[in-house]
């Protein structure tokens, strides 16, 4: 592997390479060698920028969580612009992209990664999934404020239910997103509280 090849935005290139390996081969195939081979760089590049491989994986997950957090405000700002069920279906489809499902599997697969994520982001649940639930709760709160959900709607429980059930629907990582399966689930969870 050539050394001295200049990489632009090393973090992004390594993160993207890790995602490609995850999507193609799953968490058991994700090694520092697989990532650097996929990125087309020397193995030392990864270790120059990260403390170790689990440190790299921690930063990868935190970066993906930051994307979910960034989407949270824009999703809440969109409250009232489309039917609630449509917006939630769209958000769940985005959340449970093949990459996100692979990252959740990775978190489950690697004990040290989970420990580091818990230190970086204390709290219950699986990182990324819990962040997705917070994003949906933020959106549902905005819809409740607009009067589109009943005032007594427990948005935290609704969001956790939607994310948990959504994960079950998408967990095969096949890339197939069947709206005929997702929409009835979302409607079933939200219909009792829609006004």
pLDDT > 90: what percent of the chain?
Answer: 52
Classify the phi-psi angles of 110: left when phi > 0, otherwise alpha if psi is within -120 to 50, otherwise beta.
beta
170 versus 145: which is more confidently predicted?
A: 145
Residue range 89-100: average pLDDT? 83
pLDDT tens, 96-115? 876 778 888 888 888 889 88
Burial of 117 (0-12, 13-18, 19+ CB in 10 A): buried
Q: Is 12 helix (H, G, I), strand (E, B) or coil?
A: helix
Average pLDDT, the chain: 87
pTM of the model: 0.82
Check whether residue 155 and residue 75 sit in a common domain: yes
Check whether residue 148 and residue 189 sit in a common domain: yes
Closest alpha carbon to 61 in 110, 13, 118, 107? 107
Check whether residue 13 and residue 90 sit in a common domain: no
Residue-range definition of the domain harbouring residue 122: 68-193
Largest separation between any pair of C-alpha atoms in the chain: 62
Check whether residue 28 and residue 75 sit in a common domain: no
Check whether residue 178 and residue 87 sit in a common domain: yes
Residue 63 within any structural domain of the chain: no
Name the domain count of the chain.
2
Residue 57 within any structural domain of the chain: no
Check whether residue 107 and residue 185 sit in a common domain: yes
Check whether residue 98 and residue 188 sit in a common domain: yes
CATH code, domain carrying 80: 1.10.357
């Amino acid at each position: 592997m050539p050394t001295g090849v200049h990489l632009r935005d090393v973090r992004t290139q390594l993160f993207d390479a890790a995602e490609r390996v995850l999507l193609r081969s799953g968490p058991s195939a994700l090694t520092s060698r697989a990532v650097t081979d996929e990125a087309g760089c020397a193995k030392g590049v990864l270790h120059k920028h990260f403390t170790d491989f689990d440190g790299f994986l921690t930063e990868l997950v935190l970066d993906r969580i930051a994307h979910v957090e960034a989407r949270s405000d824009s999703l809440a700002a969109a409250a009232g612009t489309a039917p609630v069920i449509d917006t939630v279906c769209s958000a769940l489809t985005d959340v449970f992209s093949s990459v996100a499902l692979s990252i959740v599997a990775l978190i489950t697969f690697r004990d040290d990664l989970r420990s580091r994520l818990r230190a970086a982001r204390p709290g219950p649940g699986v990182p990324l999934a819990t962040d997705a639930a917070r994003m949906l709760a933020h959106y549902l709160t905005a819809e409740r404020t607009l009067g589109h959900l009943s005032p007594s709607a427990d948005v935290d429980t609704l969001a956790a239910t939607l994310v948990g059930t959504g994960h079950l629907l998408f967990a095969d990582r096949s890339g197939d997103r069947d709206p005929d399966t997702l929409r009835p689930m979302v409607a079933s969870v939200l219909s009792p509280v829609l006004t």
